[in-house]
Amino acid sequence: MTTGGATPTSPRFGGVSAHRRRANDVTAASPDFDLVNSLEEQQEQGCQLLDINGCLKEAAVDCFCFGSCMTSCQNLHHHDCNLLHRKLSVEMGGYGKLGRNFLRTLLGCLIIVVGLSVFVRMACTASGEERNFSTNGYLLVHANGGLNQMRAGICDMVAIAKMMNASMVLPSLDHQSFWTDHSDFKDIFDWRHFIDNLKDDVEIVESLPPEYATVKPFVKAPVSWSKSSYYRREMKALLQKYKVIRFTHSDARLANNGIPSSYQKLRCRANYEALRYSDEIESLSKKLVERLRSDGEPYIALHLSMDAFRDEYPNVYSHNTLATADELVTLSRYQNRLAALDYNVALESDVFAYTYDGNMAKAVQGHRRFEGFRKTINPHRLHFVKLIDQLDAGEISWETFSTKVQMIHKDRVGAPYNRKPGPSAKLEESFYANPFPGCICDGSRNKTIRVVPDHRPSQGKNELRSSVQIGFSS
C-alpha cells in the first residue's frame, strides 16, 4: 500500500502560501469595514436592519470592495434586501413614476459615491501612500505556547487589534511554557513582511512610540473564546482609557464561529499571507523539499513520534537526517525554529497524515485546506490497528487489507466540509484547522478532490520512496 500520492492538479481555491510569495486572495480592509461588520454583528444577534441606506450601502460595498471571488462567496443579507424591495415597491407605488425614478436615482448616486471612494482608496494604495491610522492606543501582545499555538494566537490578535482600532506592537513570544527557546518574533518570522502585508488593515510597529514608552500598560488576560462585540466594546473602552494595554495570553481568545466574515478573512490573511517565516527557514525548507523530490517521487509527511517506525520504513527522514549539520547549526538549539522547518516541509508534502490532533496537525491541515484541500489523511486509528492485527495474523490478505483501509478512510482525506459550532467553544473544531467557511470560497466545495488508489507494495519491507517524520506538536 502506497500512502503517498499526487497532489490534486485543480486550482488552489483558498489562495496563498506566504512562503511562496503568491498573490493574496484574501480581501483587504475597505473604508466601509466597520459598516459591514456592524451589520453582520446585528445579524448574528437576530436583529433585522431593514433601512434603505444600510441595505444599499451594503450592496454597494459587496459589489465594489470584496472582488469577484468574495462576491460569489458573500451575498450579504439578500433575503433582507428582497423583503425591503417588496416593501418599498408597495409603499412607493402610490407615487407612481416619480417614486420609482427617485429610488433609481438614489441607488445610482449611492453606488457612484461608494465606487469613487473605493477607487480613490485603491489608487492611493497603488501609489504607495500609506494609510493614516487614527488609533485608540497600542496593544502589547504576549503570545504563549508552542510555535503553532503562538501562530494562531498572533493571527487572532491581528483581528482583535482591528476590532479595537488599536495599533499593535510586534508580539513577544513565549520562552518557557512549552520549550525553553529564547527566539523572538524577528528570529522566526519575516517581520518586515508581516508589517507591510497588514498595513492596510492594522498598524503594526516594532515598539511603542516615544510618547507612549513611559506609559504603564494596563495588564489584562482577555476572556477566552470571546466574540467580536467583547473587543469592540469593553476592550476598546479600556484601550481608550489607558492608551496602552498588555494582553498576557493570546491563545484561544477569539471564538471560532459567530465572528463577522470581514474579521475571519483578516485572520486568514494574517495566517496564510502575512506570517511568513524568516528567509533562513524558508530557504532551508525549500532545499529539504527538493531533496525529498529529487528522484521524482512523491513524499508523505507524518506527524508522529515513533522511532520503531524506521524499522519497517527505511526511507523515513526527519530534519536531522535530511539536512546537514552545517545547515542546522543556527537552528538546532531552537525548537520553535525547527518546528517552523517541519511545518513548511509538511505543508509542501504530497500527502500529510497525522496520528493525533495536536496544534501542529491543526495548523498544517488548515493551511492545506486553504490552499485547495490538498490531500490530508486523518487515520481511523481504532479500525486501522484492528486491520493491521488481522493482516499480521494472516486472517486477511493484503488485497482485503488495502480495500478496507481505503473504505474506512474515504471520508478522511481532507475533502471540504463546513466547520460547525460544537456543544461548547472549547470542544468545537478550530477555525485554523478548518477555515471553511470563513475565508475559502464556497465554489471550492464543487471541486472534485482526486484520491489516488493505493498500490500493493513490493516484496519485503514497504518501499515508500520518501517520507518525513514530524515529531513536534506545538
**In the chain, what percentage of residues exceed pLDDT 70?**
64
The full set of domains in the chain, from first to last, is: 31-64+77-126 (no CATH), 138-274 (3.40.50.11340), 278-470 (no CATH)
Residue 72 corresponds to which cell in the numbers above? 460569489
Q: Can you tell me the mean pLDDT for 334-338?
A: 93
If one compares 206 and 115, the residue with the highest pLDDT of the two is 206
Whether the pLDDT of residue 360 is over 60: the answer is yes
Cβ within 8 Å of residue 385, ≥6 positions away = none
Per-residue pLDDT tens over the stretch 267-296: 999 999 999 999 999 999 999 999 999 888
Write down the mean pLDDT value for the chain: 76
What's at 40, amino acid-wise? E
Whether the pLDDT of residue 2 is over 60: the answer is no
Q: Can you tell me the mean pLDDT for 437-448?
A: 56
pLDDT at 420: 81
Residue 56 corresponds to which cell in the numbers above? 444599499
pLDDT at 355: 83
Give the DSSP H/E element, type plus range, for residue 141.
Answer: strand 138-143
For residues 434 and 370, is the Cβ–Cβ distance under 8 A?
no
Strand partners, 316: 467
Give the DSSP H/E element, type plus range, for residue 407.
Answer: helix 398-408
Whether the pLDDT of residue 189 is over 60: the answer is yes
Among residues 64, 96, 100, 65, the alpha carbon closest in space to that of 85 is found at 100
Cβ within 8 Å of residue 458, ≥6 positions away = none
Whether the pLDDT of residue 253 is over 60: the answer is yes
Least confident segment among 47-61, 203-217, 262-276: 47-61
Does 217 sit behind a cis peptide bond, omega within 30 degrees of 0 on the bond before it?
A: no
